[in-house]
Amino acid sequence: MTLKLYHAEPAANSLKSLIPLKEKALDFESVYVDLHKFEQHEAWFTALNPEGQVPVLDHDGFIVTHTTVINEYLEDAFPYAPPLRPNEPKGNARMRFWNKFVDEHVMNYVSMHGWHRMVGVLARGIESGEFEKMVARIPLHEQREKWRTARSGFSEADLANATRKIEVAVDKVEEQLGRTNWLAGEIYTLADINLFAHLGFALARMFPEIGTRERCPRFLDWVERVRARPAVQAALNMPDHTNPALRTFTGHAR
């Protein structure tokens, strides 16, 4: 059995699939894809994932893309490794409700702020002819548009809407954590991992004005409970090749 994960830095989507592999203690080969060099748009990579996006799971040649799909695949394929899905109807439904919420109402909005702060700086650093050549290699229309917008600058209205979405999400999660210990009930699941990877681990750094003790004490406590898990530590300690000059913009050096 060979399991490979093609991934970038331990943040967002890449972190989201690294954590389950560590939690389930599955042996896997880590293949680092350098997003700074746009390796995800190169032919060898788009042969694996025509969408040109990380992460990608390769299980004995079977390719799985999209983190929510990858993570449920690991549950289906390795049921004997420590489960991260309730595996009973109600718990699964609650987990999938929250996964869907994070995928559709959180991820892209946090991402916009990340791109605004970091990718915009990268994109503006590329000479315009080179930039258009790079963009032309991106398979997904939406990603091409996102790069162009990152270069010209996201609108204030879009950034304000993204902030609003994050506020709604934080308040919704805070309310849920008043009723249950974890997002989907009394056990830690893929839904917690999803929210942690896309928002939780970066909340205090990226949105200190939202992630306050007054507004969301339970959310902040939950972040620390997730972060303290050995598997999560192991995932967060995977190599980070982010250009140090750009870490300011991810909030690491804020």
Q: Which residues bind a copy of itself (CB under 8 A)?
A: 62, 64-66, 68-70, 72-73, 76-77, 88-90, 92-93, 96-97, 100, 103-104, 141, 164, 168
Angle (nearest 5°) at CA 96 between 200 and 143: 65
3-state secondary structure of 49: coil
Single out the residue of 4, 9, 57 nearest to residue 241, CA to CA. Answer: 9
Q: What are phi and psi of 125, to 5 degrees?
A: -80, -5
**CA 139, CA 53: separation in Å to the nearest integer?**
9
Task: List C-alpha distances in Å: 102 to 73, 190, 191, 224.
Answer: 18, 11, 8, 19
Minimum distance, C-beta of residue 66 to a copy of itself, in the bound complex (Å) = 6
For residue 217, whether the previous peptide bond is cis, meaning omega lies within 30 degrees of 0, is no
88 or 224: CB nearest a copy of itself:
88
Single out the residue of 95, 245, 251, 58 nearest to residue 183, CA to CA. Answer: 95
102 or 232: CB nearest a copy of itself:
102
72 or 192: CB nearest a copy of itself:
72
156 or 224: CB nearest a copy of itself:
156
Minimum distance, C-beta of residue 230 to a copy of itself, in the bound complex (Å) = 26
Minimum distance, C-beta of residue 157 to a copy of itself, in the bound complex (Å) = 12
152 or 243: CB nearest a copy of itself:
152
